[in-house]
Chains A and B, each alone.
Chain A
Amino acid sequence: MNRLILKYGYPMTFVILAILAWTVYRIFSAGGSGLLGFVVVAVIVWGLGTVVFLYLWPTFAYSAFKRAVVQHGLGGGPIPVNTLYATPTRVSPAASNASLLATGTDDVLYVGGWLDLANGPLVLHVPDMAGRYYSVQFTDPSDGADFAYVGKRATGTAAGEYLISGPGWKGTVPQGMAPIASPNKSALVVGRVFVASESDLPTAYGLAQQLQLTPLSH
């Protein structure tokens, strides 16, 4: 929906305003007796609605991401909730139809997934990246905040395990795992693994595939 608005924003706005003007005109020409009440209700809804739309906009936008990830995936079919998928190739003109990846970024492999932490924490397994640039970004879908990172900047490039828990989880973090507390029971995961060249691609893809999630109990 965002894309549609970006592309056809002005014509859509014009059409909507024309319909509104016509509606008001109809009421007015029918005698106008209800116009005051009409205006009072419309203005109240307008004011409250603006706040509500702004407040909920991140939720709207990220629910589109959830649908894209869980229903369509990143080129390899739907990505089940609580699993990660690594793109085997970099973004190219041929892959441009995957709208999520229209980022103008062709030097990383993307990893994507959607987390639902309601049934307990998940463990993110990271292989030894041997100094390679990578990052795993955790985004709260209710406000769009990147609340945690695993990666070269945030945690270094050594192998590791990270425990991602939802709000209210009271368990004990197993030894050797670094905790990540998610403020929301859902989270969007975006991973990026640097690819130095075409010949580096198999190595990078092998590492990206090893970014994996498992439930804590297993």
Chain B
Amino acid sequence: MTNILTSLSISHPVQAIIVGAVLAFLTAQVIMNVVVNAATTTVNGWRTTMKAGQPGNGILLRAAFARVLPAVNVAQEAAYWTTTKDSAGQTLRGQRDYVLQFPAGQLPPNEAFWSLTMTDVVGFMVKNPIDRYSVGSRSGLTPNADGSIDLYLQRTAPAGHESNWLPTPAGNFKLMLRAYLPGRAILDGAYHVPPVKSVR
């Protein structure tokens, strides 16, 4: 006991506090990342969570969402999915062409609107020749004969399918799909966004 007290008294308390505080900060970051990943589901490459912003979240979820999704809507108001991967797990990038096909009747169910936005990997929109940064329920998409809807994600205009074209930037990119006033199938977890398929 005396030994411990002695060594405490001649230790370097200020350094020890700094070291402990820094380790605490880093540990908190790691914990928040783990919690976010645990609260996030990934289906077909699309990541989403239903827990952000919910009253009653515990200390871990509060901290984690304040870090990654501050001030975001609760899921009952808007559901969000993001992806940076195609169906094969490859990074989405402007050098390739992609198609996102919604089978007939499989658009995100909602009572307000849905929208698919194209940004760089950080989340900023990137200028394109037709000034189109999102497509969705307000953009007049053309369905196929069987009622399915193909969205063309590529740099150059898809001949004959311009109305369903969302231009991609030159580099890697991120897609965000949003459904406002999401339907029950989304909130139940029964609805899955289809995968982004690389076609060229």
A residues bordering B, Cβ < 8 Å? 2, 5, 9, 13, 16-17, 20, 23-24, 27, 33-50, 52-55, 57-58, 60-62, 65, 91-93, 96, 102-107, 133, 135, 137, 139, 143-147, 149, 151-153, 188, 190, 194, 196-197
Give the residues in chain B near A190, CB-CB below 8 Å.
71
Q: Among B11, B57, B65, B123, which residue has its beta carbon within 8 angstroms of that of A103?
A: B123
B residues bordering A, Cβ < 8 Å? 3-4, 7-13, 15-29, 31-32, 53-57, 59-60, 62-63, 65-67, 70-71, 73-74, 76-77, 111-113, 115, 117-119, 122-127, 131, 133-134, 136, 138, 174, 176, 178, 180-181
Shortest A217–chain B CB gap in Å is 29
**What are 21 A-B pairs with beta-carbon distances under 8 A?**
A27-B12, A33-B10, A37-B13, A41-B20, A43-B20, A46-B24, A48-B24, A50-B24, A53-B63, A54-B31, A65-B71, A102-B122, A104-B174, A107-B136, A137-B71, A137-B73, A144-B53, A144-B66, A146-B77, A152-B112, A153-B181
Mostly helix, strand, loop or mixed at chain B's interface?
Answer: mixed
Q: Among B8, B19, B56, B74, which residue has its beta carbon within 8 angstroms of that of A20?
A: B19
The residue on B at minimum CB distance from A30 is B12
A38 and B16: CB pair below 8 A? yes
B125 and A41: CB pair below 8 A? no
A50 and B28: CB pair below 8 A? yes
Nearest 4 CB-CB pairings of A with B: A45-B20, A49-B24, A37-B11, A41-B16
Known contacts A37-B4, A44-B20, A57-B32; A105/B55 CB under 8 A: no
Known contacts A20-B22, A53-B24, A53-B28; A104/B136 CB under 8 A: no
A16 and B7: CB pair below 8 A? no
A42 and B63: CB pair below 8 A? no
* C-alpha gap A147/B55 in the complex (Å): 6
Known contacts A58-B63, A62-B66, A105-B178; A153/B77 CB under 8 A: yes
Give the residues in chain B near A135, CB-CB below 8 Å.
73, 77
B15 and A27: CB pair below 8 A? yes
Known contacts A62-B66, A133-B180; A54/B57 CB under 8 A: no
Interface centre among B53, B63, B133, by most A CB within 10 Å? B63
B21 and A45: CB pair below 8 A? yes
A145 and B55: CB pair below 8 A? yes
A146 and B15: CB pair below 8 A? no
B62 and A58: CB pair below 8 A? yes
Give the residues in chain A near B25, CB-CB below 8 Å.
49, 53
Q: Among A9, A39, A60, A149, which residue has its beta carbon within 8 angstroms of that of B77?
A: A149
The residue on A at minimum CB distance from B3 is A36
B7 and A37: CB pair below 8 A? yes
Give the residues in chain A near B113, CB-CB below 8 Å.
107, 133, 194
10 new A-B pairs (CB below 8 Å) besides A27-B12, A61-B67, A93-B127?
A36-B4, A40-B8, A46-B24, A53-B27, A58-B62, A62-B71, A102-B119, A105-B176, A133-B113, A151-B77
Shortest A22–chain B CB gap in Å is 11
A106 and B125: CB pair below 8 A? yes
Known contacts A57-B63, A57-B67; A107/B138 CB under 8 A: yes
* C-alpha gap A139/B15 in the complex (Å): 38
Shortest B31–chain A CB gap in Å is 7
